Amino acid sequence: MIFLSTQGYSFLRGALLLTMAGLVSRLIGSVARIILPRVIGSEAIGLLQMVYPVYTIFLIISISGIPLAIAKLISEQIAYGRPDEARRIFRLARTLLFGTGAVLSAGLYLFAPVIAERFISDPGAALPLRALSPAVFLLSASAAFRGYFQGIQEMRPSAITQVIEQATRVSVMIILALHLMDRGVEWAATGAALGTVAGGLLTLALLIIFYLFLPRPRLPRQTRPDRLKSSGLSAGQIVREIYRLSVPIVLGTLIFPISHSLDAAIVPRRLQGLGYTVEVARALYGQFTGMAMALIHFPCVLTIGLAQALIPAISEAWARRDYTLLKERIANSLWLAAAVSIPSSVGLYVLAEPICTLLFKLPEVAIPLQAAAAATIFIALAETSISVLQGVGQVLAPVRYLVCGALAKMILTYSLTGLPQFGIKGAAIASVLGFALPALLNFKGMYKWVGYLPNLLQLAVKPAIAAGVMGYSVGKLYPWFEAISVYLFSYVRLPFTVAAGLLAAVIIYLLALVAIGGVPPRFLALLGTSRSRILSR
Provide the pLDDT for residue 10: 63
| Average pLDDT of the residues of the chain | 84
Say if residue 440's pLDDT is above 50: yes
CA atoms of 372 and 368, how far apart (whole Å): 6
Say if residue 308's pLDDT is above 60: yes
CA atoms of 151 and 75, how far apart (whole Å): 5
pLDDT tens digits, one per residue of 466-519: 999 999 999 999 999 988 887 776 667 888 899 999 999 999 999 999 999 988
Q: Is residue 429 within 8 Å of 372, Cβ to Cβ?
A: yes
CA atoms of 370 and 368, how far apart (whole Å): 6
Nearest CA to 297 out of 380, 356, 388 is that of 380
When pLDDT is averaged across residues 323-327 and rounded to a whole number, the result is 89
CA atoms of 311 and 388, how far apart (whole Å): 6
> Which value, to the nearest 10 degrees, does the dihedral of the CA atoms of residues 438, 444, 448, 450 take?
80
pLDDT tens digits, one per residue of 253-297: 778 777 877 887 888 889 999 998 888 888 888 888 878 888 898
Nearest CA to 428 out of 407, 405, 406, 409 is that of 409
CA atoms of 182 and 49, how far apart (whole Å): 20
First to last CA, the chain: 20
Provide the pLDDT for residue 494: 86
Say if residue 533's pLDDT is above 50: no
User: What is the length of the chain?
Assistant: 537
Name the DSSP letter for residue 230: -
Provide the pLDDT for residue 319: 81
pLDDT more than 70, % of the chain: 90
CA atoms of 509 and 507, how far apart (whole Å): 6
CA atoms of 465 and 509, how far apart (whole Å): 9
CA atoms of 442 and 252, how far apart (whole Å): 13
When pLDDT is averaged across residues 207-223 and rounded to a whole number, the result is 71
What contacts 87, CB < 8 A, 6 or more positions away?
216
Element (H, E) at 536: helix 521-536
CA atoms of 338 and 465, how far apart (whole Å): 12
Nearest CA to 309 out of 157, 207, 189, 180 is that of 157
Hey, CA dihedral for 245, 251, 256, 257, is it positive or negative? Answer: positive
CA 345 to chain centre: 17
Give 14's pLDDT tier (boundaries 50, 70, 90).
confident
What contacts 5, CB < 8 A, 6 or more positions away?
325
Q: How far is CA 103 from CA 136, 140, 363, 507, in A?
A: 9, 11, 48, 52
Say if residue 198's pLDDT is above 70: yes
Give me the amino acid identity at 390: Q
Angle ∠(287,291,292) on CA atoms, nearest 5: 90
* Count of C-beta atoms within a 10 Å radius of residue 290: 11
What contacts 66, CB < 8 A, 6 or more positions away?
93, 96, 97, 143, 144, 147, 242, 246
CA atoms of 217 and 149, how far apart (whole Å): 10
Q: How far is CA 17 from CA 42, 269, 341, in A?
A: 36, 44, 18
Q: What are phi and psi for residue 19, nearest 5 degrees?
A: -65, -50
Provide the pLDDT for residue 524: 65
Q: How far is CA 408 from CA 255, 267, 372, 399, in A?
A: 13, 15, 15, 14
When pLDDT is averaged across residues 308-318 and rounded to a whole number, the result is 81
Q: How far is CA 242 from CA 137, 147, 235, in A?
A: 19, 12, 11
381-418 as b/e: b if 16+ CB within 10 A: bbbbbbbbbbbbbbbebbbebbbebbebbbebbbebbb
Give 45's pLDDT tier (boundaries 50, 70, 90).
confident
pLDDT tens digits, one per residue of 91-119: 888 888 899 899 999 999 999 899 888 87
Domain ranges of the chain: 1-215, 247-454, 456-536
> Which value, to the nearest 10 degrees, does the dihedral of the CA atoms of residues 124, 128, 133, 138 take?
-170
CA atoms of 51 and 116, how far apart (whole Å): 8
* Count of C-beta atoms within a 10 Å radius of residue 330: 24
